[in-house]
């Protein structure tokens, strides 16, 4: 069966939702193809208002859940309250040539229901890094190309934070920030005094703290600081495709969503010299459909977008759509989250805090920002938070003494983590299996992605500097943990995988141009993590959204000019 639209968007997550919104607003009849089930905002958040005692096992990860889903269950947000928003490992296999944790959520909204919502702009220190430091290829854009689109996205999404005036972390369009607690303010003061090159700021996050007209028009309201975001927010306070972009697109009358449909490949017309549609398979019946459109946006999330494009073969492109240089699927990178530091701090027993804030305190990268100064490339952000142990802490005594101790907040503890930039290398890649496929006849993806010596050196520097900062602040019982060394954190678990279909100026060394078009198939756009040339050390989702909005509006303009 054939269907025709102006535009097709593959995937309904963070970037796919933005593509749908922008294309529909500009008048294009747009089809969004989602391989998972329908999830409607509020209606399909079954655990959003439940308490721990409402769950059979107190909202934990049971042994059975872990045994049945050894990869997915590693994700921080996976538990009894959220398991319905994740895939089941056994139903969606892939081949790990090297250990890689592929975290996926197949439903309308994708992982926008599960993300950690941290939003920082990139600066030219990120966009110019590959050229300056001699890795990957030069980005075809700079900060000024994206700045107006950052603003466009931020105003609609709602970003909580401050205007911090930092050159390597440009200011966003912000709503009121969450507050640091007493211990965090104290640690900040010590760091600012002894390490003046390391500004400490409140984390910017995609939460509506003071609804503006554009947010109330979306039906969204103020964040209640419940920190139950991964269950789906019934207030629409945090940004998700389900609460924001998809309903907005739907209001235009131009949106069609096709769920439970697996994209097999994009079809290329040799005579026309362009893509003409998408071959898709109904997940339950296995019936095939051809969906045609003038333009196609690939937003299946990094690895799935690589898989679809690699599987989109023709006589002109035997190795994947637009893949004449053989680089598709290579230079996969991610963020280095391996390092954790914990500590305690005395005093402040008369201090507490309000609610469960959905963000942490951040320190933008201070390594190799202005020049190369260490024995490793690039740098890392630091995030930390302080809190008091709760009722589940160990308490002394028995009987009434024990019970009374449990009614009081425990000691203050500090947790610190790193988010390091990994350098893309050709050896870190994905490719298609030649002899194994899934239940829909799509080849299985092989992941061959690992940490490098550069990542190891970066980790050690974080431990050294993190301990030094916490000691300066008077912290005690400081413990460092390499989570990869203890068998927990493989690449992929941070869900910040990027690359494989990178942007660049030269078709011989990149797959996409500065507008996110395939160099050799201009009516196909890739604007999710697959398009990234490098990873920066800031969180990437805001950049995905800005790139998508920019590319979608360019695509519509090109259609109107008669170029697509």
HEC secondary structure over 402-468: HHHHHCCCCCEEEEEEEEEECCCCCCCEEEEEEEEECCCCCEEEEEECCCCHHHHHHHHHHHHHHHH
Convert the pLDDT of each residue in 115-162 to its tens digit. Answer: 999 999 999 999 999 999 999 999 999 999 999 999 999 999 999 999
**Taking 90 as the threshold, does the pLDDT of residue 487 lie above it?**
no
Least confident window among 211-220, 483-492, 499-508: 483-492
- For 521, the enclosing helix (H) or strand (E) is strand 521-526
In the numeric block, which tokens belong to residue 161?
């934070």
Q: How confident is the model at residue 1 (pLDDT cuts 50, 70, 90)?
A: low
Q: Strand runs (DSSP E) across 117-236, as ranges?
A: 201-202
**Taking 80 as the threshold, does the pLDDT of residue 392 lie above it?**
no
Convert the pLDDT of each residue in 19-46 to its tens digit. Answer: 999 999 999 999 999 999 999 999 999 9
**pLDDT at position 264:** 98
Counting residues of the chain whose pLDDT is more than 90, the rounded percentage is 95
Measure the CA–CA gap between 416 and 475, rounded to whole angstroms.
Answer: 12
Q: How confident is the model at residue 391 (pLDDT cuts 50, 70, 90)?
A: low
Phi, psi of 261 (to 5 degrees): -135, 120
**pLDDT at position 406:** 77
**Taking 80 as the threshold, does the pLDDT of residue 485 lie above it?**
yes
Q: Are 22 and 548 in contact, with CB atoms under 8 Å apart?
A: yes
Convert the pLDDT of each residue in 182-197 to its tens digit. Answer: 999 999 999 999 999 9
**pLDDT at position 187:** 98
**pLDDT at position 408:** 80
**pLDDT at position 410:** 86
**pLDDT at position 354:** 86
Measure the CA–CA gap between 47 and 50, rounded to whole angstroms.
Answer: 5
* Local structure of 554: helix, strand or coil: helix
**pLDDT at position 289:** 96
Query: What mean pLDDT do residues 280-304 have?
Result: 97
Q: Are 528 and 299 in contact, with CB atoms under 8 Å apart?
A: yes
Q: How confident is the model at residue 393 (pLDDT cuts 50, 70, 90)?
A: low
Torsion angle in degrees (nearest 10) through CA of 336, 87, 261, 542: -30
Mean pLDDT of the chain: 96
Convert the pLDDT of each residue in 32-86 to its tens digit. Answer: 999 999 999 999 999 999 999 999 999 999 999 999 999 999 999 999 999 999 9
* Local structure of 89: helix, strand or coil: helix
**pLDDT at position 226:** 94
**Taking 70 as the threshold, does the pLDDT of residue 394 lie above it?**
no
Closest CA to 296 of 258, 265, 250: 265
Query: What mean pLDDT do residues 312-323 have?
Result: 98
Q: How confident is the model at residue 399 (pLDDT cuts 50, 70, 90)?
A: confident
Q: How confident is the model at residue 402 (pLDDT cuts 50, 70, 90)?
A: confident
List Cα–Cα distances, 297 to 30, 57, 455, 491, in angstroms. Answer: 10, 42, 33, 26
Q: How confident is the model at residue 386 (pLDDT cuts 50, 70, 90)?
A: very high
Closest CA to 328 of 421, 422, 432: 432
**Taking 90 as the threshold, does the pLDDT of residue 396 lie above it?**
no
């Amino acid at each position: 069966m054939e269907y025709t639209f102006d535009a097709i968007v593959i995937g309904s997550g963070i970037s796919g939702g933005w593509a749908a919104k922008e294309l529909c607003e500009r008048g294009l009849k747009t089809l969004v193809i989602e391989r998972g089930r329908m999830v409607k905002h509020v209606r399909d958040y079954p655990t959003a208002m439940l308490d721990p005692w409402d769950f059979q096992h107190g909202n934990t990860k049971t042994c059975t859940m872990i045994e049945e889903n050894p990869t997915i269950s590693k994700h921080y947000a996976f538990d009894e309250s959220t398991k319905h928003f994740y895939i089941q490992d056994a139903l969606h296999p892939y081949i790990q040539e090297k250990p890689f944790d592929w975290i996926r959520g197949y439903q309308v909204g994708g992982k926008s229901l599960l993300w950690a919502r941290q939003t920082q702009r990139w600066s030219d220190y990120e966009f110019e890094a590959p050229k300056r430091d001699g890795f990957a290829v030069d980005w075809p854009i700079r900060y000024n190309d994206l700045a107006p689109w950052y603003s466009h996205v931020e105003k609609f999404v709602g970003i909580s934070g401050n205007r911090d005036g930092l050159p390597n972390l440009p200011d966003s369009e912000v709503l009121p920030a969450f507050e640091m607690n007493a211990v965090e303010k104290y640690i900040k003061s010590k760091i600012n005094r002894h390490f003046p090159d390391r500004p400490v700021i409140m984390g910017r996050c995609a939460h509506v703290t003071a609804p503006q007209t554009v947010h109330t028009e979306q039906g969204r309201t103020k964040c209640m600081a419940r920190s139950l975001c991964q269950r789906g927010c019934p207030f629409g306070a945090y940004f998700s495709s389900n609460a924001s972009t998809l309903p907005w697109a739907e209001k235009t009358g131009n949106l069609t969503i096709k769920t439970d449909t697996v994209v097999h490949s994009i079809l290329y017309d040799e005579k026309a010299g362009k893509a003409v549609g998408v071959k898709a398979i109904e997940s339950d019946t296995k019936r095939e459909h051809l969906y045609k459109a003038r333009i196609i946006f690939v937003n299946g999330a990094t690895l799935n977008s690589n898989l679809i494009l690699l599987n989109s073969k023709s006589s002109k492109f035997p190795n994947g759509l637009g893949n004449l240089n053989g680089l598709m699927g290579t230079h996969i990178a991610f963020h280095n989250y391996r390092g954790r530091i914990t500590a305690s701090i005395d005093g402040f027993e008369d201090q507490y805090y309000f609610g469960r804030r959905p963000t942490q305190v951040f320190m933008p990268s201070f390594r190799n920002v202005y020049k190369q100064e260490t024995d490793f490339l690039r740098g890392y952000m630091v995030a930390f938070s302080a809190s008091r142990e709760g009722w589940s802490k160990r308490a002394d005594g028995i009987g009434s003494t024990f019970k009374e101790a449990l009614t009081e907040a425990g000691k203050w503890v500090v947790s610190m983590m790193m988010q390091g930039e990994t350098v893309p290398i050709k050896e870190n890649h994905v490719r298609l299996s030649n002899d194994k496929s899934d239940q829909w006849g799509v080849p299985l993806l092989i992941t061959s992605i690992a940490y490098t010596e550069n990542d190891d050196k970066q980790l050690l520097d974080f431990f050294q500097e993190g301990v030094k900062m916490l000691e300066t602040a008077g912290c005690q019982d400081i413990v460092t943990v390499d989570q990869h060394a203890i068998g927990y954190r493989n690449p992929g678990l941070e869900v910040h995988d990027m690359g494989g279909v990178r942007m660049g100026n030269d078709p011989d060394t990149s797959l996409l141009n500065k507008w996110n078009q395939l160099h050799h198939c201009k009516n196909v756009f890739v604007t999710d993590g697959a398009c990234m040339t490098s990873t920066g050390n800031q969180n990437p989702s805001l950049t995905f959204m800005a790139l998508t909005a920019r590319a979608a509006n360019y695509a519509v303009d090109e259609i109107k000019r008669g170029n697509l």
